[in-house]
Amino acid sequence: MANSSGSGSSDFDALARQYWGMWGDAMRGAAPKSAAEVGMQGFQDAIKSWTGQASGSGHGFDNVLGHFGRQNGDWFAQMQQVAAQFAGRDNSAQDIANAWKQALGGAGANPFESLLGGMRGPGLEGFEQWSEAAKPYLQGMHAETTGTLNTPTFGFTREHQERLQVLAQAQLDFQDTMSAYNGLMGDVSKAAYSRFESKLAEREEPGRQISSARALFDLWIDAAEEAFAESALSPEYRKVYGAMVNAQMRLRSGVQGMAEQAASTMGMPGRTEIDSAHRKMAELERQLRRMQRNQEKEAQQQPVRTAAKPVASEKTPAAPKRAAKPKPAPKPASKSAKKAVKSASRPAAKKALKKTAEKSAKKTLTPATRKPTKPASRKR
């Protein structure tokens, strides 16, 4: 088998030659095995070998391989097998559609469930992935609560028991909603097979016939996407999908609550505490900005007032002077503002915040009070 550290593509070449050689021979009727017998394993081995050779080449291609290698080769390889069954002989739309269905697992096959369940890899997070990641924890919880879901809780651990019961129920609910979603995808799969057969029937006349495995694969993609779109735009999908997402969020929320509880027992901060701190910071920052804006507005009105009262303007000669100094790009989140936010948790924070805010407001305010100048590039 190939490895990524190999100097060339010889491993892949050898494996691929072997696979496609057998495949070609089977097609030509020169080999004892049929194309179907050459089978998926050979193709998968060849693709696996190629993936190994191609990985580590940089340019972000490893991420692409993460998606490519997951299952895409398989779908196409299976379609190749189907095409091989009908190459060189009469066929019908129904036969091909049935063969495709068989290739994917028979009457109950649910390719949508397989595809969506397999949509993972770099940059992707599906709902099943989280469930798998949380599985060990959930299994432990499940063992603890089996058979006691609806029994009354008592004793000094009753709150803990209650939380476990809620969590176990949430897990069951999520499984139910996931089953409902997969059931809907089963319906979509059936609709996709049906559309595939109809599309095949449209290509029976000479001139419109399918002349490659790839074209057959693309036809399936069209059928599958149309069937999915019809469902995905329906009120039923909205309901089933929404229920699944909501159920998982309830489950996640329960798990997080348990984790926080455990963290709290050990004196560690949890999400709630950290969120609370972030919320305070965001609110303080917002208040600070409001104050700055108000001061800016006041300052903009000030020249009018000073013009009306020349005596008053003499009292504040520094302000216009400072205002005339051009400043670089204003940074509303100035150091002093950040300081104010930091210090807000200390006693007398309000006072400090007000003072610092006023100070920093003047800083950001100054460019606004002068008449804006055009940049050099505009003087043409």
Partner 1 sequence: MNGPINISPMELAEEMSKMQRKLAAGIGTLRNMDDVHFGVTTREEVWRDGKVVLYRYRGAKTPTAKVPLLISYALVNRPYMVDLQEDRSMVKGLLEHGQDVYIIDWGYPDRSDRFLTMEDYIERFIGGAIDYLRKTHGLDAVNLLGICQGGVFSLCYAALNPGKVKNLITMVTPVDFHTSDNMLSNWNREIDVDLLVDTLGNIPADMMNLTYLMLKPWRLFSQKYVGMVDILDDKKAMEDFLRMEKWIFDSPDQAGEAFREFNTQFFQKNGFVNGGVKVGDADVHLRLVEMPILNIFAEQDHLVPPDASRALRDLAGTDDYTELSFKGGHIGIYVSSRAKQVPETIHDWLGKRSR
User: With binding defined as CB under 8 A, does residue 278 bind partner 1?
Assistant: yes
Considering the complex, state which of residue 36 and residue 313 has its C-beta at the smaller distance from partner 1: 36
59: three-class secondary structure by DSSP: coil
User: With binding defined as CB under 8 A, does residue 58 bind partner 1?
Assistant: yes
User: With binding defined as CB under 8 A, does residue 126 bind partner 1?
Assistant: yes
- What distance in Å separates the CA atoms of residue 104 and residue 110, rounded to the nearest whole number? 8
Would you give the DSSP letter of residue 247?
H
User: With binding defined as CB under 8 A, does residue 93 bind partner 1?
Assistant: yes
Residue of the chain from 39, 44, 67, 173 that contacts partner 1 (CB under 8 A): 67
Furthest-apart CA atoms within the chain: distance in Å: 109
User: With binding defined as CB under 8 A, does residue 63 bind partner 1?
Assistant: yes
Considering the complex, state which of residue 187 and residue 237 has its C-beta at the smaller distance from partner 1: 237
121: three-class secondary structure by DSSP: strand
User: With binding defined as CB under 8 A, does residue 361 bind partner 1?
Assistant: no
In angstroms, give the least distance from the CB of 190 to partner 1.
Answer: 16
Considering the complex, state which of residue 67 and residue 359 has its C-beta at the smaller distance from partner 1: 67
Site for partner 1 in 303-332 (CB under 8 A): 329-332
- What distance in Å separates the CA atoms of residue 236 and residue 175, rounded to the nearest whole number? 18
User: With binding defined as CB under 8 A, does residue 39 bind partner 1?
Assistant: no
- Total number of residues binding partner 1 (CB under 8 A)? 114
186: three-class secondary structure by DSSP: helix
Residue of the chain from 100, 174, 181, 228 that contacts partner 1 (CB under 8 A): 228
Tokens linked to 228? 């999915």
Residue of the chain from 90, 136, 147, 311 that contacts partner 1 (CB under 8 A): 90
Residue of the chain from 40, 119, 134, 172 that contacts partner 1 (CB under 8 A): 119
User: With binding defined as CB under 8 A, does residue 166 bind partner 1?
Assistant: no
User: With binding defined as CB under 8 A, does residue 246 bind partner 1?
Assistant: yes
Using CA atoms of 226, 228, 233, 235 in order, give the dihedral in degrees to the nearest 10: 140
What DSSP assignment string belongs to 140-178? HHHHHHTT-TTSPP-STTHHHHHHHHHHHHHHHHHHHHH
- What distance in Å separates the CA atoms of residue 271 and residue 350, rounded to the nearest whole number? 26
